[in-house]
Amino acid sequence: MLVTHKKASISEIENAWHGDVEALLKWVSSHDTVEECVVLKTCNRVEIYVVSPRGEKVLFEIAKKARVSSRIIDIHDHDESLLHLLRLASGLESMIIGEDQILGQMKELYRIAKNLGYTGWVLDTAFKKAIQVGKRVRKETAINERSVSVGSAAVDLAEHILGSLEGKSVLVIGAGETGELISKALVSKNIGTLYVTNRTFGTALSLAASLGGTAVPYEEMKRKIREADVVISATSAPHYILLKEDIERAMEGRKNKLLIIDIANPRDVDEAVREIEGVELHNIDSLKQISDENMRLRMKEIEKVEAIIEEELELLRAKYKRKEAEELLARIYSEAEKIKEQEVRRAMNKLSAYHTLGEIEQKVLMDMSHSIVNKIFAEPTKALKAAAERGDTEMLRYAADLFRLNQEVSD
């Protein structure tokens, strides 16, 4: 189930689900029929992946309980989810086509779900393949050239609005991964002064020192806005860190314009700031303009990426289909093993009535029976695996019926 920038505004994404990723994982997994789950929650999307015999119905129920409007959600079946996941890891579903940040976010969010025990073979297989494809795409194509993240797109947007960032004073709020990307992109624009602030001053100090900038203690941040031409905010604070009155004080006696770009989710800057004269506020929604430009520049690379995805998706589908056959074969072999054990024991008991069987005789009987079972099932095993790979679920059903396993084989 997806809630992304394609259908929802930033405020709708913010309000889609509350709480952190671990709380959301716990809530989703508490549903009776959910066997596995992973949650991808970023500034541009909230995506929930589940393994359940009632997948689509479960996701609709989850959305309804969370009061998420059906207008902004997409619910995919198994194959659609696999395709989307590979496209997402490759950067094709991002607001900024080809951006690198999503791959790192996917790896971290999958790691959280796995470490907490919410994943199994199905989602482990899907996410490992997606991460591998994301790496391959970036190695074999130029899809991640130019603006490669929301952070660098924010810098591009500032440059587009102001004409040039050369000599400008820029304050970056937040020294995490996104703040680092923003700061590095700013340095390449030949700005005048880079200020970096963070709730943990040591983090700001480390980032500023590595880029030749100036670290600002968090409690002095609002005063430092007076000196900035541009403020780019990207914290993980759960509430506004800049209110209308804060910016009004920063604008007192000021003549030059102040550009604020808020790319945090939830947002860092109160929307009421737009009402202040001389202030221009933008958030993630504004970055769609940059995304459109990048799309035109990267069209040739998209075709290469999609070819890689198609190739890898076929390999992934084949793996799932083989698993379906392997589960059926495991049941068949298990039943055969029971019969073999019974018949060998029966034969040994009959022979023991005439003379004592030594370990060698017993081993010969066991080895012979094992060999017979394997040889009988060798060709059927190949046939069932081949049937699974070509999507012939009818043959798998026939096999289940033939051995009276009463195993349902899904389409």
Among 4, 209, 27, 17, which Cα is nearest to 102's? 4
53 in Cβ contact with 141 (< 8 Å): no
Helix (H/G/I), strand (E/B), else coil: 371 = helix
396, 344 contact by CB (below 8 A): no
Q: Strands 169-173 and 279-283, how do they pair?
A: unpaired
The sign one gets for the Cα dihedral 158, 161, 165, 171 is: negative
Contact between 100 and 144 under an 8 Å Cβ cutoff? The reply is yes
> Contact at 8 Å (CB) between 372 and 343?
no
Catalytic site residue 37? no
98 in the Ramachandran plot: left (φ > 0), alpha (ψ -120 to 50) or beta? left
Is residue 56 within 8 A of residue 77, CB to CB? The reply is yes
**DSSP states of 185-250 as a string?**
HHHTTT-SEEEEEESSHHHHHHHHHHHT-EEEEGGGHHHHGGG-SEEEE----SS-SB-HHHHHHH
Tallying the residues shown for the chain, one arrives at 411
Write the secondary structure of 253-272 as one string of H (helix), E (strand) and C (coil).
CCCCCEEEEECCCCCCECHH
How far apart, in whole angstroms, are the C-alpha atoms of residue 118 and residue 232? Answer: 36
In sequence order, what are the beta bridge partners of 259? Answer: 230, 280
3-state secondary structure of 172: strand
Half-sphere exposure of 260 (CA within 13 A, CB side): 31
Phi/psi region, residue 190 (left: phi>0; alpha: psi -120 to 50; beta: rest), is: left
Out of 2, 21, 40, 43, pick the active-site residue: 43
Catalytic amino acids? 43
